[in-house]
Amino acid sequence: MVKAYHVILGMYGFWLPNDPRGSYSEFVWADDLRKFGPATRVDTRRSAAAKPHDVKKRRAAKKALKYPPVHLDEQQIKATGAGISRAAEIQHVGILACAIMPEHVHLVVARSERTIEQVVAEIKQRATLQLGEERIHPMEEHREPSGRRHSPWARGFWVVYLNDESHIENAIRYTVHNPEKEGRPRQHWDFVAPYDRIV
């Protein structure tokens, strides 16, 4: 039985469907990205972020995006955290760990009455609203033809279903230490619920 979820939410442009390191996509929908090759679907649950790959090709594909890739600054990271906090409160969902990086977000979410799809949709919506309310939306300068700001989020999300205590503990540990891997300080969020089995 699923007890929790390790969720990764990418910001716009973070991990493309034809990333040379692999992806979970089956098709490249965007015309501007198709010239960089087909989708690079993989079936592994392990992170491929450090996998050797054609860095030039990946960067060229990012430059071909319709809008610049989103890279959150410290103020935007705090606003995103406030949005996640609000979403968790509204949905009565326990967040067991959170790391908000400039290009992606790691969350460990306790199972609840909501589906993980509903939880993620609310998190993205509330974080986006908070960025707009604080007038620091990363896509403020990049509007769609309708006048709407483009979403700061990549489509979809990546999830690992956690079925036992050891997997939950590992996911929490990985998430908590994620900022340090990029030379950033460990983050502390008031909305994170303590998990008493973590060592």
Per-residue pLDDT of 66-75, as tens digits, reads: 788 899 999 9
Question: Using 50, 70 and 90 to split pLDDT, how confident is the model at 157?
Answer: confident
Percent of residues, the chain, with pLDDT higher than 70: 72
- Give the rounded distance of the alpha carbon of 190 from its chain centre: 19
pLDDT in tens, 74-117: 999 999 999 999 999 999 999 999 999 999 999 999 999 999 99
Q: Reply yes or no on whether the pLDDT at 30 is more than 80.
A: no
Mean pLDDT of the chain: 81
**3 state SS for 34-60:** HCCCCCCECCCCCCCCCCCCCHHHHHH
- Cut 0.85: pTM above it: no
What is the architecture of the domain spanning 4-9+71-181? 2-Layer Sandwich (3.30)
- Residue 123 is predicted with a pLDDT of 98
Q: Where do the structural domains in the chain lie, given as residue ranges? A: 4-9+71-181, 17-64
Does position 33 have pLDDT exceeding 70, yes or no?
A: no
Sequence length of the chain is 199
Q: Output the CA angle 32-38-42, nearest 5 degrees.
A: 125
What is the average per-residue pLDDT within 8-17?
A: 76
pLDDT score for 145: 82
User: Which residue type does 69 have?
Assistant: P
